[in-house]
Structures are given as C-alpha cells and as structure tokens.
Chains A and B, each alone.
Chain A
Amino acid sequence: MTTAFIFGLLISLMLTGMPISIALGLTVLTFLFTMTQVPIESVALKLFTGIEKFEIMAIPFFILAGNFLTHGGVARRMIAFATACVGHLHGGLGLAGVLACALFAAVSGSSPATVVAIGSILLPAMIAQGFPKRFGAGVITTSGALGILIPPSIVMVMYAVATNTSVGQLFIAGVIPGIALATMLGVVTWYRAWKNDYPRLPRASFLIVLRTFKDSLWGLLLIVIVIGGIYTGMFTPTEAAAMSAVYAFFVSVFVYKDMTLKQVPKVLLDSANMSAMLLYIITNAILFSFLMTHENIPQAMAQWMIDQNLSVILFLLGCNILLLLAGNVMEPSSITLIMAPILFPIAIKLGIDPVHFGIMMVVNMEVGMCHPPVGLNLYVASGITHMGITELTVAVWPWLLTMLVFLVIVTYWPPLSLWLPRALGMM
C-alpha cells in the first residue's frame, strides 16, 4: 500500500514535467507530512548532510575536466590520430570516429560531452567527404555513448554513491566491456561501409601516425593519470578527477593554446551549473532512498522475489526491461540514482556481483541515451547535424541493435566485466 502510494505519487509528479529533483523531494515531503512517524528533523539532517561525501565530489571535477577537454583542442588531436590509424580501412572517417570516441571516452566521463567533442569536428568532415549524413550521425551518436562505459564515468560514480560500491573497482571493470563495445561498433561501421562502398582515405604514412600520436600524447597521458593513479592507489577517484581537471586546464591553455585564459571563467561557470544540477538530484535522490529504506521497501521487494523463486536470469531480464523503459523518459543520472537503491538489494540477495550489476546498468543507460524520446546523445547529434530526431532514430538503428546484443552479453556473461578487476587483485 505504502509502496504503491510512494511510486504512484512520484510517477504522477514526474509526468507533469516538473524537474525530477523536485518530484523526488515533493514525494518525500508529502509522505512525511501525511503518512509516517519519521521525525522531520532526521529527514532534514539527511537533506542537508546527505551529499557530504568526498566520493560524490568526483562528479563536479570530472565535468570540469570534460569541459576543458572538449573546448581545449584535445578532441581535435585525438581525431587526427584516430584518422591516421584507421582512416584507410573501409569506413574511413566513420571508423576513425569510433576510435576517437573510445579514446575521448577514456578521458571524459560523460556521453553527450563525447558526442559534442568528437561529433562537432568529425561530422562536418564526414559529410564533406561524401558520407551520407545518416551514416555519420549514427556512428557518432552511438559511439559517443562509450563515454560512460569507458572510465572515468560520471554514471559509475552515481551508481557507486547510490550503492556504496567502490568507484575504483567499477572504473577498472568498465575497461574491457568498453573496448569490446567499441570493437563491435567498429565492426558494424566497417561492414556497412564495405557493403555500401563509402569513401576511404589514403593510407597515412607511419611518420604521420607518429606525429599525430605525439600531438595527442598530452591528452592520452590523462588516461594514465586517471586509471593508473586510481589503480596504483596514488589518488582516490575524487583526487584523480581534480588532478585531471587541473591537467586538462593546463594542457588546453598553456600547451595546445586552443583556449585563452579569458574563456576559462565561462567553462568554470558552465561546469558549475551542470554539477549543481546533478548534485541537486543526488541530494533529493538520497532523501528518497532514505525514505524507501526506512519503510523497508527494497527489502520487502527482495524478499518477495526470493519467495517467488525468481531465477537470476529472469531477474536480470526484468531489470534490463525496466531500465530500458525508464531510459525512454529519464536521463541516466536520475535513473541510476532512483533505480539502483531499489534493485541493488535484490541483486545482492540473488547473489549477483555488485560491480557486474553496475556495469550492466551503465550499458543500459548507454542504450537509453541513443534512442528517443529523451536520448541526450540524439539531441546533441541533432544539434550538430541539423537532422530531425525521427530521421536520426532511423540512422542509429544498426548500431543501436549492436548495443542491445552487447547488453545481452554483458548481462549474462559476468566475467567480461569482472575478469580484469579480479586479475588485477582489486576485488
């Protein structure tokens, strides 16, 4: 009864189009004032102190770092390097786009940022080269989603915060699935380009490969700082994020000089704006999950599922469908923050590894970002290409289908995500 009331209220408030954070907060307040004995003071305390965790502060830092990288010329040099490496194969610039997205994803924690960084440069170049608009848009929109699977990843930090899982383990676990998905997207790109005989570039000489590599080295070093730093224990994830923000600032302004000091305050302001929005959702989502835990809802649901003798396979299938449906109406951060605290206790009781479950959720979010109505990647790509959302939806389907296949693999084959962190002795 209580459960139905809470969810009913939350969903109806959300459907009115009010900000998700407000819908979450109002649900909790309504419940508090009408139905429960929880002392208001304890809730207020949660509301004010809920985000006082150092791990959460990785999010603003990663956003800041991402913004510096997007505007600071790092993306451009990575594209040049990727093009020199694979531009001569079938798919040419398209294949280079997949590789560039994967490289950029390894320094940035957000999908739409990856689409902007790579797409705004590569898409016009592809069209100029004679690729159909749809092909380019499809490649970049879906490859950009790698941004949240290949570490660092803001969505993984959110999941870690919501479920008390280690950010470091999640990051390392994302490496192999990230490379696997990039490969699969690359193969689809290659196959479609080969079948339709799209333009290829002349093979770049080894010298050019070397030079473009040297140019992009400053950006690529960031991968070492973040992943290496976290893995060796030199930095906590939050510290690594702060270091990468400072490093990205330094490279953009003083090494590549693609950004002037005058542009820096604008980047800071935009990052602060985005971070504040996410932190506000986190605050209210923590409040919401506090209420749920207090009312024993996730535990009751877990018990119910176990009583039904629900198999792991069926549960994971259900999770995937639920998350994909949620991906139709909400953006990833909100879904992760709302769903993870509910599904996580059930998953644990069924013996699913927390890290594996996290990676599965992230892949679900990736799929959600690439299809309408709220796929943020689609909107960003539509902004770059001036294509309608409907046309773009048609354009992305071959890659979207690939991602769904990949989702099935990730869901039912845990070693894909768990092997590396185990082999490295992290878990």
Chain B
Amino acid sequence: MILRFLDRFEEVMITFLMAAATLVIFVAVVHRYAAGLPIPGVQDFLLGLNLAWAQELCIYMFIWMAKIGAAYGVRTGIHVGVDVMINALSSEWRNKFIIFGLLAGALFTGTVGTFAVRFVHELYSTEQVSADMELPMWLVYMGLPIGSYLMCFRFLQACYRFIRTGSLPRPDHTKVEGIEAVEILHADDSSSKGGKP
C-alpha cells in the first residue's frame, strides 16, 4: 500500500515537474517578447510582471526532477553500466557482480543522502535564501536527501527482488514504441507516394 503510494508519488512528481518547468520557460520567453509589443494597456501590464525568477525556478524544478527521477530510474532499470565483462562470466559469478553493483549503488546513495541531511541541516540554521525567488535554501535543497534516500531504498528493493526472483529491471530495447505508426504509413502509402510500383 505504502509502496504503491511511493511509486505513484515518484511518477506524478516527475511528470509534473517536467511539464511545469517547460511551461515556466515558455511563458518567460513569450513574456519577454510580448512585453516589447506596443499594445496599449497590455504592454503596461506585461511590463509590470517580473519573470526574472523563471530561470531559477526551472533549475530547481529540474534538480528535484533529477533526484526523484533518478530513484524512479532504478525501478525502470535505466541506469546502465558496462556489462560487457560480467556478461561473459558464468551466471553464478554474474549474479554475484549484479548484487555487488546494486549494493554499491545503495551504499553510494545512502552516503550521499547522509551528506545531504547534514548539508540541509546546516542551511536550516543559516536562513540563506535563493537569489531571485528568495525561497529558503534548505527548502530548495530538501530534494537532495529525499531523492538520495529514495534511490538508496530503490537499490535495496531491486537487490531484494533480484535475490528472490532473479529478475532485474532492464529497459527493453526490443520493444520500440511508436512501431504502431507502421500501419499508418502502409495505409496512406499509396496516396503519399503516388502508387506503389
């Protein structure tokens, strides 16, 4: 139940951040050029808006997205490594290396998470704020410990599942999305190319 909530949280969060960051930059750019247009009334209103914080907001949104998305990425198996050597080994040794790799991931992200907690804790006592939006910095960097610990948890989870079931999340290269477009092409093949020979 909690796991399902966590899965959902990751997905919704990074989808939202991706969309929101794109929109923020889009609006800021449109605003920059629209404010230069001499439309009475509208121009004064646009010039009155200050969107200088857009870049900063975009950066922080993407950092949150990167941290939480990295954890989601462990679940989808998108973090690739150099598997040339271990693929050449017997499956027994290969499994050992895979478990080692997953535990190493958990160790690294766990350590970084602990660093991040200390880092955020120190910031909390300094009352630093960000340059443009004047958000408290500890809040901005809160994504780091959350993301790192989440990623650590995902590595441990992947390791546990691998030992239990022997299956590993891997991105599937053999399944190509967009392949359904083939039928569309064949359907209008004759019209777009002036008949097949």
Contact = CB atoms under 8 A, between A and B. Distances in A.
Interface string A8-34: 000001111111111101100100000
Given A202-B195, A238-B25, A17 B69 contact: no
A223 B26 CA distance: 17
A19 B81 contact: yes
B119 A48 contact: yes
B76 interface: yes
Interface string B152-181: 000000000000000000000111111101
Contact of A48 (B14, B109, B141): B141
B197 A212 contact: no
Q: How many interface residues does chain B have, given as a range? A: 35 or more
Contact of A17 (B58, B65, B82, B112): B82
Interface string B171-197: 001111111011011100100111111
B68 to A, nearest CB: 7
B69 A277 contact: yes
A60 B73 contact: no
Interface stretch (A119-127, A141-149, A166-174): A119-127
A265 interface: yes
Interface in A312-364: 328-331
A423 to B, nearest CB: 28
A120 to B, nearest CB: 5
Contact of B193 (A83, A258, A382): A83
A339 to B, nearest CB: 14
A89 interface: no
A18 B69 contact: no
B98 interface: yes
Contacts of A79: 185
A411 interface: no
A64 B17 CA distance: 12
A216 B100 CA distance: 50
Interface in A215-246: 234-235, 238-239, 242-243, 245-246
Contacts of B49: none
With most chain B CB atoms within 10 A of its CB, the pick from A245, A272, A373 is A272
A131 B135 CA distance: 61
Interface in B124-149: 141, 144
Interface in A58-90: 60-61, 64, 70-71, 73, 75-76, 79-80, 83-84, 87
Contacts of A14: 81-82
Contact of A383 (B175, B181, B186): B175
B39 interface: no
Interface in A269-287: 269, 271-277, 279-280, 283
Nearest to B98: A17
A16 B101 contact: yes
A359 B93 CA distance: 40
Interface string B51-83: 000010011001101111110110010111111
Contacts, number: 228
Contacts of B104: 13, 16, 18, 22, 26
B197 A201 contact: yes
A246 B22 contact: yes
A204 B55 CA distance: 48
A26 B111 CA distance: 10
B193 A274 contact: no
B84 A19 contact: no
A57 interface: yes
B59 A54 contact: yes
Given A17-B83, A384-B179, A276 B22 contact: no
A179 interface: no
Contact of A71 (B73, B177, B195): B177
A38 interface: no
Given A17-B82, A239-B29, A272-B15, A125 B175 contact: no
Contacts of B68: 276
Interface in B92-111: 97-98, 100-102, 104-105, 107-109, 111
Given A60-B62, A242-B22, A29 B111 contact: yes
A117 interface: yes
B18 interface: yes
With most chain A CB atoms within 10 A of its CB, the pick from B29, B70, B192 is B192
A37 interface: no
Nearest to B176: A383
11 contacts: A18-B101, A19-B79, A20-B80, A25-B108, A61-B22, A76-B181, A124-B186, A269-B15, A275-B18, A275-B69, A374-B82
Given A125-B189, A280-B73, 20 more contacts: A14-B81, A16-B86, A17-B87, A19-B79, A20-B80, A57-B62, A79-B185, A83-B193, A87-B193, A199-B197, A204-B193, A245-B22, A246-B26, A273-B69, A274-B78, A275-B65, A275-B69, A276-B66, A276-B70, A380-B173
